[in-house]
Amino acid sequence: MAIQRVQVAIIGAGPSGLLLGQLLHKAGIEALILERQTGDYVLGRIRAGILEQVTIDLVDEAGVGARMHREGLVHDGFDMLFDGQRHRVDLAGLTGGQHVMVYGQTELTRDLMEARAGAGLPTVYEARDVAVHDFDTTHPRVTYTKDGVAHEIHCDFIAGCDGFHGVCRASVPRSAITEYEKVYPFGWLGLLSDTPPVHHELIYIATPRGFSLCSQRSTTRSRYYLQVPLTDKIEEWSDEAFWQELRLRLDEEGRDRLVTGPSIEKSIAPLRSFVTEPLRFGRMFLAGDAGHIVPPTGAKGLNLAATDVKYLSSALIEHYAERSDAGIDHYSQRCLRRIWRAERFSWWFTQLMHRFPDEGPIEAKLKSAELDYLMNSANGLKTIAENYVGLPLDFGA
Ligand code: FAS
Ligand code: PHB
């Protein structure tokens, strides 16, 4: 058994793990990242596309923001389309000039991977049988195998950045953890294509046929979503069937401008609201999807992960640099207040914009009336805008 000593063992090389590793490195704290998959597999998962300012600032703090600022698209608003009418949510005008950035999670992950490799920092890909031990003591351990060789890591802390299906949360005794979950009765069929976006900003669409989202990755690469029944299988959806259904959910302007082309990625993602309480278990912390999941309607998933990492990296730096555990002791509470606010917005926006199987005509009319009110109310538009750009970190402090 090869034994290695490191200050922080990070499980998972998605955006949470990589961002944490980069922030700790800049503070002189050594971390080893263990990742179950290959780097190419991680990059091949097409996920988030919208960065809040808090995330942009953190990527800059990590020193990996150059390409994001070069290639990312700043968006000052988005359209809502329902009952055949478009309404623009003027993010900048409603939030005193704030905006979001379109920059794919894949690109951010690539930037973080390249920065880590460039600094010669250790990441073990295709780490098998990762297991966490003794995290309720001052000497936590992590074991794994690589190419058939057993390894053991002795560390001060474990960062569970291993996503919803990871090993860290699953390793916490059930008596020590509370999980809140709501699974939605539909999924998102996503398609990525090298075609120019149908509009220069995003369009969130609510129709009797279901929700749709027109997003993008650049001025030449588009990302589209269709609400589909949970029973749908990806092989049932040809590219042509996708484009045909999207046309039915677009308005005439959208149909006229839509440029279709072959999919370069197509997948169906389930939607759930999920929160773990607490997020700290002795010397082990959960961050990102390991601790919570939001339905992607509010574009919060990746941004919540970034905020967790901001709080966790500050807490660990404070532990080592100032010999203070105040940040560590407050980590869970600080994250959860922000998590629940984002969960609430994501749940509210999802139930407003999607068709639920058990809904009847009156629910459709009530949702139309709510959308009509929100789009014609300065307060209604502001509540959507301030949540979409991301509430301030000290909101309600
Ligand atoms: P991740 O799941 O990205 O990364 C966890 C990593 O841990 C993975 O690489 C995994 O391989 C690894 N891992 C798991 N178990 C392990 C083990 N036992 N040992 C070692 N490694 C292990 N968010 C948005 O804002 N907008 C979106 O449109 C959006 N779409 C999404 C679509 C899908 C299908 C999914 C699943 C999520 C989506 N999200 C979206 C949310 C997504 O962007 C997450 O918020 C983001 O990936 C969170 O990053 P991580 O916390 O790093 O988790
Ligand atoms: C995306 O571009 O993938 C995206 C954008 C906004 C969302 C969800 C997903 O709300």
3-state helix/strand/coil string of 64-91 = CCHHHHHHCEEECCEEEEECCEEEEECH
196 contacts 204 by C-beta, under 8 angstroms: no
Tokens 């988005």 found at: 78
Q: Give pLDDT, residue 396.
A: 85
Around 45, how many Cα atoms within 13 Å sit in the side-chain half-sphere? 15
Residue nearest to atom 7 of ligand 2 (CA): 299
Q: What is the pLDDT of residues 181-221, one digit of tens each?
A: 999 999 999 999 999 999 999 999 999 999 999 999 999 99
Residue nearest to atom 5 of ligand 2 (CA): 49
Query: Token digits for 382?
Result: 């502001």
186 contacts 230 by C-beta, under 8 angstroms: yes
Q: Which residues of the chain have pLDDT under 70?
A: none
Q: What is the pLDDT of residues 132-165, one digit of tens each?
A: 999 999 999 999 999 999 999 999 999 999 999 9
Amino acid at site 390:
G
Q: Give pLDDT, residue 355.
A: 98
224 pairs with which residues across the strands? 191, 214
Query: How many Å is the Cα radius of gyration of the chain?
Result: 21
Amino acid at site 68:
M
d(CA 24, CA 165): 24
- Nearest ligand for residue 169 CA: 1
Tokens 């808090």 found at: 54
Distances (CA, A) of 70 to 98, 103, 166, 194: 19, 10, 33, 19
Pairing of strands 2-11, 31-34: parallel
Which residue among 213, 294, 345 is best mutated to probe the pocket of ligand 2, counting the most ligand atoms within 8 A of its Cβ?
213
d(CA 22, CA 25): 5
Q: Give pLDDT, residue 21.
A: 98
Q: Which residues are catalytic?
A: 75, 204, 296, 300, 388
Query: Token digits for 167?
Result: 């090993």
**Domains present along the chain, CATH in parentheses:** 2-51+103-180+272-357 (3.50.50.60)
Q: Give pLDDT, residue 62.
A: 97
Q: Give pLDDT, residue 394.
A: 84
Helix, strand and coil in the chain, % to nearest 5: 40, 30, 30
Closest CA to 223 of 187, 251, 252, 199: 199
Ligand 1: lining residues by beta carbon, under 6 Å: 11-17, 34-37, 42, 47-49, 105, 127, 130, 161-163, 165-167, 269, 288-289, 296, 299-302, 305
Residue nearest to atom 4 of ligand 2 (CA): 49
Q: Give pLDDT, residue 397.
A: 80
